[in-house]
Structure 1
């Protein structure tokens, strides 16, 4: 499942005073005391390092969970209540919705715990502890190994470490490389799989502004949803059961109603997905000129062909809502990356650093180890520029067109099924039925047909410069690059045209029928192309990976790059900064451009508009100033606010905390002008857009009338 990327926020590019800067870094919690605690105290932190991260006692880290593998969430009550973004819960909410009970559109609030709803698959992951195993891991490798030999040795050692620390299967253990394989740490987690929907605002609140406001400021989005974690009677993870009980977490976050002011301390704990701040200049250039433009074009093609069916059929809209939202998010993100990286000359900045590195690397003491590093890296990028564009077009076809992957993946299983006796088929049947549900559970054949044809037309045209797989190339030549007729004919004849057709085939399976199926053949062709790697490319990748690792090692050794934190890779991190305004903006009614108000939200209202419609009740309550205890002391109803924390994708739903460790908001977005932050940190541009926790509580209590949920929380006034 593809989750929303969260990066950096700003409204416009401008020169800031030298004394105003964001605090760079996505820090390991185990190093907070040594590296960051004193600096954080100066900025307003009132907690000890032990209160943030402790192995033996409850601490802030015990309230932070990874949500379904892609977002972040936090425990906000002693009864297992979990708060995250609306877009993080989007899949589950859509799955639980129907045309008759459209919770995605209308919202949902469980009146009692018995009314809470369990989606098919949803889990949260608690962080238990971590430790440094760099010396142990690096002791099993040497410079004479190929990258494949190195990987094999490292994987064998990883397996040993994982087994030593999994508590006999109680925990999930992950050993991860950092600084491009120059350091290694292991992480111990505990997963809970009985997670149920408690509440969600209507989409007109949770997604207010839609794609137009995505990555923009000022923002007025109530991007939150609520779930609950259940466990067995002893508090252990358990599969869904009626007699499971709400989990009592080791720590839950108190919720502050005090609000935020400019320069208030703000820290965020969460699971940032990926940054590439060690990426060489050649990699940045390749993305900007080849990979990202192809991604943008491919994503837009998929979206256009999904949307024409979604807008006329609510059932289809629910089926594809999450897939469309994810595709649209990446589409805008990649275009923003192109614009930001180009505008700020990020590749040029990196290239300047690399010139200095090359001089250092070619000094006599360093030349043997580092002398060829940059030339090897640049040679690899030059050889793979066309491939990167080709791969992005192909990837978008695979991501958005089910017919591009379903026939090959399911077909191989059906071929095996056809070749077995009755007893073996009975053994295989549950797995195949699960695959059918996975592929056809949210599947509308006319939409899938048109998305596939459009993606094939685009891929055949734009991927040809690098080289197309044989069947695709042949069909393209025969049909003048137009796959429409082929796809129409193939889907009519194919056993993969519908779930019913596959089930009918399984009554009398014949492997040759699958092998001769046109959709199976072209899908197999596409996947083989995606996985193909020539010996020459394999050799270049081997040299590149080694050189990239040496580049990072050399940059750290030479002090030419002083970054002390590792790139994000979905492991728990802490980032700290301040509430920080942008220059005044006439589009924002706020007195200081670090927050937005409900008045500003109502001004954006467009009745019936897919992006800017809003519940009439909110308009009426705002007119009456019916804000209850959640209003700011200045009298307005806050909606969103800005901080300058260093975050990225995966931080969606992360808690924004004040100096006392109290919840003041949820991180949910960033700004398109600052997207170069994925590869280079800019203290002038860094911002994060957050939902003000007071707006969250107002929606739950005053708008939805679900005060019983508020009563669970520890409210600090």
Structure 2
């Protein structure tokens, strides 16, 4: 999902060796051995080979990673791609203008020629994977430092990648699992010609906004559609009008049957990151230091952005994606603080570690594991203040473009100016491209105010760990108010606008850059962010080894029964059922596992940023104009719940029934289960999904793009 879905408290120590079926993010290559029997009992009708096969087409061939951060699925033999609205948000905003605002008003291409290519968008197909743990671990030994270990592993990884990329045809990624105790390689094929086919208006795709984010009941049509293009032979190719729609190995048929409580549901996708092995000290540090700073820093940037976005639609389009991403994680981190605190997750983990420490200090284990827990706890204690400081600084860098831009671009220009004419000619297109990229979505008044607000916050709250030299000097002179400093810097800096930088490029001098006031601020911040003392480097080395040994020891001692590795943006399968939450008076549905269009209309607030909706939807709902997409109960279902185990990166993942048919798209999780990145709760964890029938209704009945639905394989 767009977010890191987190759940609630359940001691992993108490879990039986056989995990509860709906917990886990599983490798496809082990489905036959670990999961297939359980899945069949729950309603799966496919063989393991039909889910994952190297030699024949299978479900995995219809699942793609979408632009590196989301998941999507192929839903037609003509390369049609379905994902979440928020996953396509960047591309939709990029293609929008004030005159043709597709983000606000929606868009559907009436033919292939109208499909639009964003500047940078790709999908990644999974080809195969294999275990290389023995090979990788064979090049390291216990006497190596973590840096030496990393170097040896990276050298072996480079060999594995070269052996499997077939001369550049494939992308090969070797990834660590179980904190570096196992390694697998993954082979992918990337397609870069991906075009926008259609999107609902933002009032549908983002209905409920920040208020409903992470909440249930939910009524959001979070979907958008794209198409993958290839050359005439079906191979990846750069954008060209000569390219043709990809003929995929497999596409998902779409079911109109709907779902009921306890129906089998599996999700395939690319979950981004979980930390189910995180030690108690890490949880405690996040709750008390890192996450509160993240929340405050994110809100500071959001408040300034929103002020300018509300005034100007052009500015709103520029910053819509950055604001949405910032707001999403702002609410996520606050939810994590609340959930992890309320349910004492750190205490639960500490109990597990106490049992491990007792096992580790037995005579036969002491030499290898005896100091593991102490080393980990000492590291977290020593870095608590740093974690808060770093979160404030990171939010400054993420929300204030001028936190990063002057240093990155300035250092590139300094290097450029030192080269001979031939080398300059080679570098110039990259420099020009960087300038276009940085200033493509840049509104100077907003950027100036964000930088002022973030510097004021950082200089105040980050000071207990220590500020960078130049920032500390400015703070001493300005009493912690950077307004005048930043205003003066903007008046003088070559980085204050694209025009100022282009004027500088006519007569570039490194002395100008090195004395530029925004460059000095940016370099000082980056230097602090990257600084690492010898003592810190030693602590990180010892912690890295101790954490790896903790995971190894927990698995060896059977004190932790988790059989699946943490998520790390590799393809996984999770399975469970359609499953209601306790009855909720806010939901008009007969059972609290779905929501209806009637419930959505009740939330309607004319002109409201979050709860406005097209009048046409209200009228069609009143007339019960649902077509073939109506549920058997006579209502239009919008969203539904399953108990699948997913996290950030699963956004856009297909929800698939026991026959291998598409029934929905995963897009969110419930706030009651916000601690699940660290510890899984089978009682409260839910995935919020868009009902595929609502998706098709929006495309066909509301938008009049029936030709898109006709392209799919519909199962009634």
TM class, shorter-length: over 0.9
Kept after mapping to 2: 8 A contact 1:6/1:669:
no
Q: Does 1:186 align with 2:185?
A: yes
Kept after mapping to 2: 8 A contact 1:640/1:689:
yes
Shift, 1:211, TM fit = 0.2
Q: Does 1:120 align with 2:119?
A: yes
| Aligned equivalent of 1:488 | 487
CA distance in 2, matches of 1:286, 1:256: 46
| Aligned equivalent of 2:606 | 607
Shift, 1:422, TM fit = 3.5
| Aligned equivalent of 1:79 | 78
Shift, 1:421, TM fit = 3.8
SS in 2 for 1:678: coil
| Aligned equivalent of 2:3 | 5
TM-score normalised according to structure 1 size: 0.98
| Aligned equivalent of 2:521 | 522
CA distance in 2, matches of 1:638, 1:421: 65
Kept after mapping to 2: 8 A contact 1:298/1:393:
yes
| Aligned equivalent of 2:503 | 504
Shift, 1:114, TM fit = 0.5
Alignment of 1:307-456 (within 5 A): 307-456=306-455
Q: Does 1:541 align with 2:502?
A: no
RMSD of aligned C-alpha atoms?
1.1
Shift, 1:22, TM fit = 6.4
CA distance in 2, matches of 1:511, 1:415: 6
| 1:401-431 deviation line (CA, Å, top 9, x unaligned) | 0111100110011112223343332222101
CA distance in 2, matches of 1:251, 1:7: 29
CA distance in 1, matches of 2:100, 2:128: 41
Shift, 1:660, TM fit = 0.3
CA distance in 1, matches of 2:253, 2:570: 24
Shift, 1:54, TM fit = 0.1
CA distance in 2, matches of 1:482, 1:593: 51
| Aligned equivalent of 2:103 | 104
CA distance in 1, matches of 2:237, 2:177: 33
| Aligned equivalent of 2:203 | 204
Shift, 1:9, TM fit = 7.6
Kept after mapping to 2: 8 A contact 1:8/1:687:
no
Shift, 1:480, TM fit = 0.5
| Aligned equivalent of 2:244 | 245
| 1:372-402 deviation line (CA, Å, top 9, x unaligned) | 0000000000000000000000000000001
| Aligned equivalent of 1:557 | 556
SS in 2 for 1:167: coil
| Aligned equivalent of 1:13 | none
Note closer, same or farther for the CA distance 1:408–1:513 as it changes in structure 2 (3 Å cut): same
Alignment of 1:157-172 (within 5 A): 157-172=156-171
| Aligned equivalent of 2:12 | none
CA distance in 1, matches of 2:639, 2:359: 47
- How many residue pairs were aligned? 707
Alignment of 1:113-152 (within 5 A): 113-152=112-151
Kept after mapping to 2: 8 A contact 1:63/1:250:
yes
Kept after mapping to 2: 8 A contact 1:9/1:688:
no
Kept after mapping to 1: 8 A contact 2:82/2:223:
yes
| 1:32-66 deviation line (CA, Å, top 9, x unaligned) | 00000000000000000000000000000000000
| Aligned equivalent of 2:212 | 213
CA distance in 2, matches of 1:342, 1:210: 26
CA distance in 1, matches of 2:338, 2:48: 39
Kept after mapping to 2: 8 A contact 1:8/1:685:
no
Residue ranges of structure 2 left out of the alignment (5+ in a row) = 9-15
Shift, 1:182, TM fit = 0.2
| 1:2-57 deviation line (CA, Å, top 9, x unaligned) | x82151589xxxxxxx9x97611000000000000000000000000000000000
Alignment of 1:49-88 (within 5 A): 49-88=48-87
